[in-house]
Amino acid sequence: MVENRAPATTLGRGFWIATTVIALLALAAIVFWSYTSLRIVMPPVAAQPGGEIDVLFRFMAATASAIMIVVAGYLIYFMIAFRARKTDPPDAIGVQIHDNHKLELWWTIIPTLLVVILSVWSVKVWYAIQIAQPTNGLVVESIGHQWYFTFRYPQIHGEITGEMHLPVNQPVVMNVTSADVIHSFWVPQFRLKADMVPGLINTIRFTPTKVGRYPIVCTEFCGTNHGLMSGNMPTWQGKPNPGAQYLVVDTPADFEKWYHGWQVKNAHASDAIATVSTGTISLAGGDAKAGQALFAQKCSACHAIAPFSQRVVGPGLKGLLDDPQHPNLVDGDKATPANIATILQNGYKGDIGQMPNQAANNLSDKDIANLVAYLSSLK
Ligand code: CUA
C-alpha cells in the first residue's frame, strides 16, 4: 500500500555536495573544450572555412559534455542515495512526486535555448561553407571510382590519377561526382565532405591555407575495398595500398610545376572519362619477376593467384592461359597474352564486376608487358 501523505524530499547535505561536485566537473568540461588543442580529436585545420566548424565543434562538445556530466552525475548520486536498504520492507517504493513546475520550466527553457543557439549558429556556418565562399576560384573535379579517386583540371587533358595538387591560399571550386556507386570525398584537415553520386555534381568551395600533404578519405560505404580508399591507410597487409591517395597543397611555384608536368604528360590523353585503348602494347621483353612484384603491389588487393572461382574482388588468375574450365577471358576473348594485355589496357566492366583501365591503375606499357609475362608463367 502506498502511504497517502505529502511527499517529503529528503535532499540533505549529500545532495548539495553532489551538486557542487557536478557543477565543478561540468564547468571543468566547458573550460576544457573551450581551450584544449583540438588535435586530441582531429588533425589541425588546413583550409577555410574549416576554422568555423572547429569553433562550432568546441561549443557542441562543451555543452554536450556538461549535459552528460549533469545527467549521469545525478543519476549516479540518486542511485546511491536512494538505494534499497536492508531495513526496508520488501514492498517499499520511493517517495512518489508529481509535478514540479519550477523544474519543468527550467528543463524546458534551457534545452530550448540551446537548440535555438545551435540552429542559428549552424545556419551561420552553413552559410559560410555553402554561400559565402568565392565562386571564381580554380575549378577542379574529382570523380569517385571503385576504389580510387581521379581528378580533372582545366587545361589538362584526361584524368589525373594518384595525388591531387592545389595551390595554397587560392580559392577552389571543387565539383565531385562518381563513375559507379556512391562515394564521399573527405579531407579531414579541410573539414569538408561531399557525397559523390553518379549522375549528380556536388560542389564544395574552400581555400587551402597550409602547405602540406593531406589524406583523402572515402566516407560512404562503396563495396569490398571501401576501407582501402583512404590516405590514412598507406599500407594494408604489409603492402602499399594503391587506394591511399593524398591532396597536396603546394606553394604557387610548386603547383605550377606539377600542373605543367601533367599538361605535358597528358597532352594526348582523351578527355572522355571512358578511355579506350589507342594502340597495341608490345609484349616483347616482359619480365615475369618484375611482373610478380607489380602484381603484389597493384593487383593482389582484388585478385588471388588461385583458380578462377576463388574470387577476392575479381577472379583468381592462376593458369589463366590454360584453364579448361575457362578457355576464354572474362570479356569472352580467347585466353592469349595479347588479349590479357587488352584487358589491362582498357579495364573491364561486366557481370562479374569491373576493373580500372591502364591510366587509372597508373601502369606503363612496360608494366603491362611484365604483368602479362608473370601471369603467363603461372601454369
Ligand atoms: Cu569509395 Cu567508400
CATH of the domain at 317: 2.60.40.420
Q: Evaluate: CB of 176 within 6 angstroms of ligand 1.
A: no
pTM over 0.75: no
Same domain, 185 and 167: yes
Same domain, 299 and 370: yes
Query: pLDDT tens-digit profile of 11-47?
Result: 788 899 999 999 999 999 999 999 988 888 888 899 9
Last residue of a domain, one of 265, 297, 315: 265
Joined grid coordinates for residue 379: 601454369
Q: Evaluate: CB of 220 within 6 angstroms of ligand 1.
A: yes
Q: Evaluate: CB of 329 within 6 angstroms of ligand 1.
A: no
Half-sphere exposure of 263 (CA within 13 A, CB side): 8
Query: pLDDT tens-digit profile of 83-93?
Result: 888 888 888 88
Transcribe 351-377 into DSSP letters: TTEEE--TTTTT--HHHHHHHHHHHHH
Within a domain: 113: yes
Report how far ligand 1's centroid is from the alpha carbon of 132 (Å).
29
- Of 81, 58, 89, nearest to 11 by C-alpha is 81
Within a domain: 277: no
Q: Give the span between the Cα atoms of 99 and 109, in whole angstroms.
A: 16
Q: Give the span between the Cα atoms of 128 and 342, in whole angstroms.
A: 48
Within a domain: 203: yes
Within a domain: 274: no
Q: Is 165's pLDDT higher than 80?
A: yes
Quote the domain boundaries for residue 205.
Answer: 138-265
Same domain, 151 and 233: yes
Angle, helices 50-81 vs 13-35, to 10°: value is 160
pLDDT tier, 253 (very low <50, low <70, confident <90, very high otherwise): very high
Q: Whose CA is nearest to atom 1 of ligand 1?
A: 183
Same domain, 119 and 144: no
Same domain, 37 and 119: yes
Q: Evaluate: CB of 226 within 6 angstroms of ligand 1.
A: yes
| Count of domains forming the chain | 3
Within a domain: 69: yes
Within a domain: 327: yes
Instruction: Provide the β-strand partners of residue 175.
Output: 141, 203
Within a domain: 92: no
Report how far ligand 1's centroid is from the alpha carbon of 219 (Å).
6
Same domain, 50 and 145: no
